[in-house]
Amino acid sequence: MPLVTPFETSFGRVANRRMLLVETDIDGISGWGECVAGEGPFYAPETVETAWHILRDFIWPILKGREISAASEVWEMLALVRGHHMAKGAIEAAVWDAEAKRMGIPLWKLLGGVRDEISCGVSIGIKETIEDLIATVERELAAGYQRIKIKIKPGHDIEPVERLRQRFPRMRLMVDANSAYRLEDWPHLKRLEAYYLMMIEQPLGWDDLYSHAELQRKLDTPICLDECIHTLEHTRAAIELGACRIVNIKLGRVGGYTPARQIHELCRSKQIPVWCGGMLESGIGRAHNIALSTLDNFSLPGDVTASRRYWVEDVIEPEVEVTPQGTIRVPEGPGIGYLPRLNRIEQLSARIEILT
């Protein structure tokens, strides 16, 4: 799926997304999930190809023909496979969708969600010029979005943040470095504190909790971890080490709803606010992010946005829309609450594999 505009982060630029969608058939009830792995192993180790391989050759043989009495059992069934959370998360989420559909209720209610409207922020990629960045922020604020996150990297950090602050003194602003800095850069990152950011997301190594703890001790601005949060155990270590004060939860990064809910609970018990990150998902993944965001400790605006910010035409009906207040009204229909546009999905498909 071609993006409306290419998206650039510190680890690269993407203009076209290769989506891996999973449809499960459980006693004739269909459930949908999306694998959020990237085209290359630059955000996380998995890719679309590794996820396809793991799903077909290892996850499917485990699940095939098994009695599943609740979607909450799937995560444990897959424990034999280490890592590969994006592959697991895709199918686990599809089983949750199917379970909610079988019960005839919205997935977010099955999950224990508490709100029928979620708060939305936007993630803005690195732009060629500051003028382009300012114009983009202006447009997103006018659309109602409640907070702005910009991607930064060395050489593209202080100046854009300073210029945005001058232009929009009161907006809720944060930055995401996607692991582009090293601990030695801390005096430079400290300069960002002049612009009262809500948080700095994942400044250091993708798996480096220790350095984040060192950095957090030097900064007043909260660090939010994204890439580092793979498991419940890593989250516990991050919190106990003081490596972050905020956690970004992504369904795919942690392996599905079961670990996502455990991490959400742990954070709640430690008074660490969480928010739902995005991975440039199609409507299927977007719908799951909306459901997840209804849990009570998702108390900060997430990177969950309208379909039209990324796609000319999404793969779900209706498309995800945002209110002028920068919220998404959570759908009331069964399961994820949006219908897959089967024609559009088929038309876009480069590969279809049916496992029986």
Which 52-91 positions form the footprint of Mg ion (CB under 5 A)?
none
| Closer by beta carbon to Mg ion, 35 or else 180 | 180
Among this protein's residues, is 250 annotated catalytic? yes
Which 199-228 positions form the footprint of ligand OSB (CB under 6 A)?
226
CA dist., res. 214 & res. 230, Å (int): 20
| Closer by beta carbon to ligand OSB, 113 or else 278 | 278
- Rounded least distance, CB 224 to Mg ion, Å: 8
* Cα-based distances in Å from 94 to 50, 154, 279, 314, 327: 19, 39, 17, 18, 25
CA dist., res. 263 & res. 231, Å (int): 8
| Closer by beta carbon to Mg ion, 92 or else 201 | 201
Interface pattern 188-207 for Mg ion (x via CB under 5 A) = -------------x------
Q: Is 75 in the site for ligand OSB (CB under 6 A)?
A: no
Q: Is 303 in the site for Mg ion (CB under 5 A)?
A: no
How many residues at the interface with ligand OSB, by CB under 6 A? 11
CA dist., res. 49 & res. 38, Å (int): 9
CA dist., res. 173 & res. 300, Å (int): 12
Q: Which of 8, 46, 176, 208 binds ligand OSB (CB under 6 A)?
A: 176
- DSSP codes of every residue in 74-116: HHHHTTTS-S-HHHHHHHHHHHHHHHHHHHTSBHHHHTT---S
Of the candidates 329, 273, 278, the one whose C-alpha atom is nearest the C-alpha of residue 297 is 273
Q: Is 123 in the site for ligand OSB (CB under 6 A)?
A: yes
Q: Is 43 in the site for ligand OSB (CB under 6 A)?
A: yes
Active-site option among 88, 127, 149, 250: 250
Q: Is 293 in the site for ligand OSB (CB under 6 A)?
A: no
With CB under 6 A as the contact rule, which of the stretches 47-55, 163-171, 203-211, 275-283 interacts with ligand OSB? 275-283
**Other residues' Cβ atoms within 10 Å of the Cβ of residue 257:** 27
Joined tokens for residue 63: 């699940």
Q: Is 176 in the site for Mg ion (CB under 5 A)?
A: yes
Of the candidates 188, 319, 196, the one whose C-alpha atom is nearest the C-alpha of residue 204 is 188
Of the candidates 154, 149, 155, the one whose C-alpha atom is nearest the C-alpha of residue 133 is 149
- Rounded least distance, CB 171 to Mg ion, Å: 19
- Rounded least distance, CB 225 to Mg ion, Å: 9
CA dist., res. 128 & res. 254, Å (int): 33
Largest pairwise CA distance in the chain: 60
Which 218-247 positions form the footprint of Mg ion (CB under 5 A)?
226
**Closest residue to ligand OSB, based on beta-carbon distance:** 278
- Rounded least distance, CB 279 to Mg ion, Å: 9
Active-site option among 88, 149, 151, 153: 151
Among this protein's residues, is 151 annotated catalytic? yes
CA dist., res. 203 & res. 244, Å (int): 11
Q: Give the binding site for ligand OSB (CB under 6 A).
A: 43, 123, 176, 178, 226, 277-280, 303, 305
Which residues are catalytic, by number? Answer: 151, 250
Q: Give the binding site for Mg ion (CB under 5 A).
A: 176, 201, 226
